[in-house]
Amino acid sequence: MISLAKNQPKYLYKLNLALVLFFILWFLLGVPLMVTVGCIYDENVITYIVMGCTFAVFFIGLAIFFAVGIKLNARLISERAAELEKKFAEMPFDEAADILKANGIIADCAFIIDDGGIFGKNTLPFEAAQLEFTFYSVETQIFLGILIYDSDGENAGGFELDRAAYNYLLNKRLKIINAEYFDLFVNDKKSFVKFVFRWGHRLFQSAQTGLN
């Protein structure tokens, strides 16, 4: 899919721009050329040669762009996976817990929930909470989060998955509904990035509205 969003990597922006220009030039030069030759020579061998060469240029160009696109997509996946490895590096459990407490996400044995009530924020004990790992991509950028559900399955809020939250959940081993996706993220970030780029925007993009 062609995207000319300028906040994507420059190499992808340049590739997509070149592809758009290729289409424009082919239609501006190739199509008029075939029409002109056809009008002059009608159903002559010259007409068919020109048409064949013009379409050959088109399909050869597409093949080149396709091959370059595969190579650059692999580069993008490797870069995003490396960024995730760096962003979610190991952190001591106690340090992660202190950060989450300071940010108002957890108390000693519970999540801090802002339910909009007149008495302010409440808490939801860890054992009564169910977590959902959410992820989606926007213009090659990956966003991760955690949604919190109570024992009745009602959405009780959520928070962005950062380094502290990641290390805390990894060591605390709280219940995650879709643990298979979280495990993939933990164990194979490259495969996880591939999955997000292919399906994440369809499956989980709506989850961003539930994050704090």
Q: How many Cα atoms within 13 Å fall on the side-chain side of residue 40?
A: 11
Collapsing DSSP states into helix, strand and coil, what is residue 8?
coil
The alpha carbons of the chain give a radius of gyration, in whole angstroms, of: 26
The pTM score is 0.77
The token duo for 12 is 């992808």
Q: Looking at residue 199, what is its pLDDT?
A: 77
- In this structure, how many other beta carbons lie within 10 angstroms of the beta carbon of residue 101? 14
Mean pLDDT of all residues in 5-25: 86
What's at 49, amino acid-wise?
I
- Judged against a pLDDT cut of 50, whether residue 205 lies above it is answered with no
Tokens of 199: 């399906």
Q: Each residue of 111-130: pLDDT tens digit?
A: 998 765 545 578 899 989 99
**Residue 190: CB partners within 8 Å, gap ≥ 6?**
77, 78, 81
For the chain, give the percent of residues with pLDDT over 90.
58
Beta strands, E only, 18-129: 110-113, 122-125
- Our separate counts of H helices and E strands in the chain read 8, 5
Q: Which of 82, 120, 102 is nearest to 165 (CA)?
A: 102
Compute the distance between CA of residue 147 and CA of residue 161 in angstroms, rounded to an integer.
Answer: 10
pLDDT in tens, 142-198: 999 999 998 888 888 899 999 999 999 999 888 899 999 999 999 999 999 999 988
Q: How far apart are CA 81 and CA 145, in angstroms?
A: 17
Residue 99: name the closest of 157, 186, 167 by CA.
Answer: 167
What token pair was written down for 173? Answer: 């081993």
Predicted local distance difference test score (pLDDT) of residue 41: 84
